[in-house]
Structure 1
């Protein structure tokens, strides 16, 4: 895209600039007053504008046009030209978002240099916007469980509206994926999806990051709210937003406008707001750390995103999806999951939810040395069997993949070796703790293959009458 709109009330100048730029390979459009200029912008936003400050017989001067265009099309670079230029006008233009200021009569080579730089800025901004849209497009909801189908049914009901959505659920369960799914299936899908990481920004920097800033030295620096204009602003872990910022965001939701840090003019925005949290916001309100008015504004449509523990049936689909995704993005091996690997994945504890599963799959693909099916032995064995927060016994290792008799023997061996090591290899103390006669424990160890000179997992070297010596 190399379309440049030239706005100047002097016909000779705008046609001269147009001819020069077309010789350079650009496509140009011409406007002689503010009405023509705004009609051109509204019909098809240009890649760049060259704008005269003083426009005779116009409803708006160049600064007014600049403000209007930057408000509605912040990505369009605008070069200001004027035959009456002075430092005050230049500062005012830069402050309102102009890319650069050139005084008439201007040097053609200088103008071309500035245009090339501005067009490069325009190109990069378009690419960033396309990348944001592409990132949204690939956000997929993966699953077939009843819990998951219920979630998708709820989400599908809100995609076409502009209602504010509050997504709740534990960390890593897929709240941002759900937010991106809403956006990519909405009428705003072609507009930006901008994430605000409320937990990852220092409180002192939050307002500048959200609202942008203005200064004579650096001009206008748009914040995330402006960047999200026309699309979605996503407040990730909104409970971590500073109280002072909460009040200002509440005002934005009411007025659909704000003032940049250091600025005076109102900036109007058209936004859909989606928020998420893994905390109990009503408890945060009671504790005085979250504003009740903001909660009610954000919590128009509450949707609970289930944990991975609540949708274990979806683990094989998710795991295979991540394998294919890593193959496309990183060139990692395209492998399948063996039955024993699937069984193990579905019995593991997942405090980190879907994010933990994704990281585990990436780790296995990176460290694995094969291209065949992923076996259970390749999966990280981070700990012994244990209990989850509700007291349920959860198996680890390969126990979940074995027949009952083999699993029982494997468990007994692991359990007894753990207790022997716990008591420093003392058989008498071990027998007393596990509730067995010493002779019975010897027989059990022998039946499990823990005999003189044998090793098990590199821990037991041999068994003596009263002492089991651990291997180093």
Structure 2
């Protein structure tokens, strides 16, 4: 993808010369001769970098720098200032206000290209950092496991990644849909662009349009996630939670290849891949008229189904080892091995919360347990399992039965709420509805039990 650069300068000769040089270097370039034209060009399309002259007839560059520095994307949109009458004080002021660098005229070709390339590289690193911070639950970079089942899904994902079509990833809660979305991103032509995650179930319905499409009011522009994902991938997590009006707006954008910001009048045309995920059968949601049929068929152009963990038990050992290493190396927790009896128990477990439940189990075992080998007696209570009685002791009681009533009740409540939070991806409203309790009471109970729905592994 060619980086898009906006050149703002009131001197035609400089504008044209810089444009020719940058286009020869493989950049896409737009020019503006004054502040008003620059504002319009930036409103119509988000640049990857701006070259901004300080002295212009209508609005000076420092004023524009201040104005644009207050926008949401200021951190990762580099602005390089230019001036033929600059002073040290001007350069310092521009840098203080957020300019990436300051170039003096006449421009040195070598310095111009070096500054632009360094600024674009720094911007990409910032975008990657922002994207990683948004992915609070992602830890692996690719799916773990050697089973034929998971290898086939990985092969399908790699093949799909080569074609820039919308993808619909389906699978149970905790099965790894977000991980596979990133896997597709990293194996496709957009791998050097941003990976932007939008958890539809966590956004208030009244804010969804602004979150996705952005907004503008006067000169104030809020770039939505669609524009933030330009040259990269937009991952719409739990697409079935999208509000009906936003479904209609997204469908219109997919059909037209462009969209309007909320309050905007000029069409925006980003270049990106869209991946959506759902843990529901979206065809059933269409039949129930809770999801648009045309949007379903558009997103389902290339489907990818993630198998539940119970269908690939041969991967459990690899996953356990991966997360023990992960928590011991990255979080400083004590490294521990599983006994053979514990491993057999874990292989037989049905894993309703899939890989996410397994990860959470390993973390709890390393935090709550002592040093030494992890036995089945330690594992079973955390899975709410009853150990099989042996022939020598047919009346062997459940481990919880040895606890005082209050402790046993708290252990059950912890496991019960954690199970439903995992199944709903941390959605407190849905968990409260499943549990038949008021949301305020649920928050109080989670605080007592030490459960934070925003920090589920």
TM-score (norm 1): 0.66
Q: Which moved more, 1:108-117 or 1:323-332?
A: 108-117
Q: 1:111 to 1:260 in 2, by over 3 A?
A: farther
| 1:71 and 1:268 in contact (8 A); partners too | no
Deviation at 1:37, TM superposition (A): 3.4
Q: 1:103 to 1:147 in 2, by over 3 A?
A: closer
Map of 1:431 onto structure 2: none
Q: Which moved more, 1:129-138 or 1:303-312?
A: 129-138
Q: Give the secondary structure class of the aligned counterpart of 1:257.
A: coil
Spell out, residue by residue over 1:249-281, the C-alpha distance to the aligned partner (whole angstroms, 9 max, x if none).
Answer: 112212221111122221110111111101121
Q: Tell me, yes or no, if structure 1 residue 130 matches structure 2 residue 134.
A: no
Q: Tell me, yes or no, if structure 1 residue 157 matches structure 2 residue 155.
A: no
Map of 2:378 onto structure 1: 378
Q: Tell me, yes or no, if structure 1 residue 84 matches structure 2 residue 82.
A: no
Q: Structure 2: which 5+ runs fail to align?
A: 102-118, 402-457
How many residues matched?
A: 365
| 2:8 and 2:53 in contact (8 A); partners too | no
1:351 & 1:242 partners in 2: Cα distance?
A: 28
Higher Rg: 1
1:38 & 1:375 partners in 2: Cα distance?
A: 69
Q: Give the secondary structure class of the aligned counterpart of 2:89.
A: helix
| 1:95 and 1:215 in contact (8 A); partners too | no
Q: Structure 1: which 5+ runs fail to align?
A: 12-30, 385-395, 400-405, 419-472
Map of 1:43 onto structure 2: 25
Q: Tell me, yes or no, if structure 1 residue 333 matches structure 2 residue 359.
A: no
Deviation at 1:54, TM superposition (A): 3.6
| 1:168 and 1:303 in contact (8 A); partners too | yes
Map of 1:278 onto structure 2: 279
Q: Tell me, yes or no, if structure 1 residue 115 matches structure 2 residue 95.
A: yes
Map of 2:395 onto structure 1: 412
Q: Tell me, yes or no, if structure 1 residue 71 matches structure 2 residue 46.
A: yes
Spell out, residue by residue over 1:131-190, the C-alpha distance to the aligned partner (whole angstroms, 9 max, x if none).
Answer: 367779952111122322332232232121112211111111111111111111112111
Spell out, residue by residue over 1:95-151, the C-alpha distance to the aligned partner (whole angstroms, 9 max, x if none).
Answer: 897969999988752442232442469798544323367779952111122322332
Ranked by relative contact order (alpha carbons within 8 Å, sequence separation 6 or more), the top structure is 2
TM-score (norm 2): 0.68
Map of 1:189 onto structure 2: 191
Q: Tell me, yes or no, if structure 1 residue 178 matches structure 2 residue 164.
A: no
Spell out, residue by residue over 1:175-227, the C-alpha distance to the aligned partner (whole angstroms, 9 max, x if none).
Answer: 1111111111112111111111111101100010111111237x112111011
Deviation at 1:237, TM superposition (A): 0.6
Map of 1:313 onto structure 2: 314
Q: Give the secondary structure class of the aligned counterpart of 2:201.
A: coil
CA RMSD of aligned residues (A): 4.0
Q: Give the secondary structure class of the aligned counterpart of 2:169.
A: strand
Map of 1:33 onto structure 2: 15
Q: Give the secondary structure class of the aligned counterpart of 1:196.
A: strand
Q: 1:412 to 1:41 in 2, by over 3 A?
A: farther
Map of 2:250 onto structure 1: 249
Q: Give the secondary structure class of the aligned counterpart of 2:54.
A: strand
1:196-275 equivalences under 5 Å are 196-216=198-218, 219-275=220-276
